[in-house]
Every structure is written in C-alpha cells, then in structure tokens.
Amino acid sequence: MGKNVSRDTPLAEVTLRKYERPGSLADRELARKLCLSLGLLHPGDSRDVIVDILLQLLVSETPLNIAELEKQVILSRKKEGMAANGTASSNIRRQVRRLKGMFIVEKSGKGYKVSDNMCDILDNMISKHYVAAIMERVKEYCGEMDKRFNKIYKDKIQ
C-alpha cells in the first residue's frame, strides 16, 4: 500500500519587494519593476513575458483577447530586439491567469483589460483582500503558537 504524501500547498501567497524609486524608467522597465515588486517576476528571471503582457494591457484602449494580446506581445518584443520566448498562446493564457489572480486583470467581454488604475488595485484589492487575509491567517498561527508554547517558555525562564 502506498504512503500518503502531504503537500504544503498555500491557499494564497504574496511576495513584495522594495526597489529604488521609479524616477525616469522607460515604460517596459517600469512594468518590469512593478512585476518584480509584486512577485510576479523573480530577480534575474529571463522569462519575463508577463512584463510585456501587462504593458500591452495597460496601453490598450480596448480589451484584448488572447490572440490579439499574443500578436501585440510578439510585436513589442521584436521592436525591443528581444526573443519571442514565452509567447506561446498557452503561456500567454497562464500569465494572464496569474495577473487575474492578483486582481490586476479582469475579463471584459471576450477580452482582458487592466481592472483599475494601478494604485487602486494595490490599495483596494491586493492590500485589503489578499494581504489582509494572509496576515489574518498568519496571526492565527502566531496565536496558536503562543497558546501552545507560552507555558513552555515561561517554565524554561523560571
């Protein structure tokens, strides 16, 4: 009979990083730093198509479907002299799903668009819903630790 393997799969997670002030960064670099800051991209990661996806959704005046988004991303990367790595439809869909999961992108009709202005997304969605829910659960773990182990610590000190 096989053993049951328990996996520590989080219900939600968030990574926040602090970088230098945005100043006079070019558009793509600004979008890249935002993706890095929100944990959507890892430092040194060469697979950064999520940056181009976010940028295309930000500059588009109308919602884009996956096919349109893919074309725009490929054109954008070609214009920047970058390889078309990561521009397959399946990967574009996966990255849009990640942006959707962070409340940055929403489905609108048959396409996708940025949900709101970026500061409102951060304040109203990511901070209030995502981070607050994670912090509340971490506090529950801290409370349980205090409840279970506080007596042990007090006994060791005395």
**Measured distance CA(6)–CA(67) in Å, rounded:** 39
Residues 36 and 99 in one domain: yes
User: Per the domain annotation, does 2 fall within a domain?
Assistant: no
pLDDT tens, residue by residue, 101-142: 888 999 999 999 999 888 999 898 888 888 999 999 999 999
User: Per the domain annotation, does 5 fall within a domain?
Assistant: no
Whichever domain contains 17, its CATH number is 1.10.10.10
Answer whether residue 2 shows pLDDT above 70: no
Q: How confident is the model at residue 155 (pLDDT cuts 50, 70, 90)?
A: low
Whether the CB-CB separation of 70 and 63 falls below 8 Å is answered with no
Q: What is the CA radius of gyration of the chain?
A: 20
Range of the domain at 47: 12-115
pTM recorded for the entire structure? 0.81
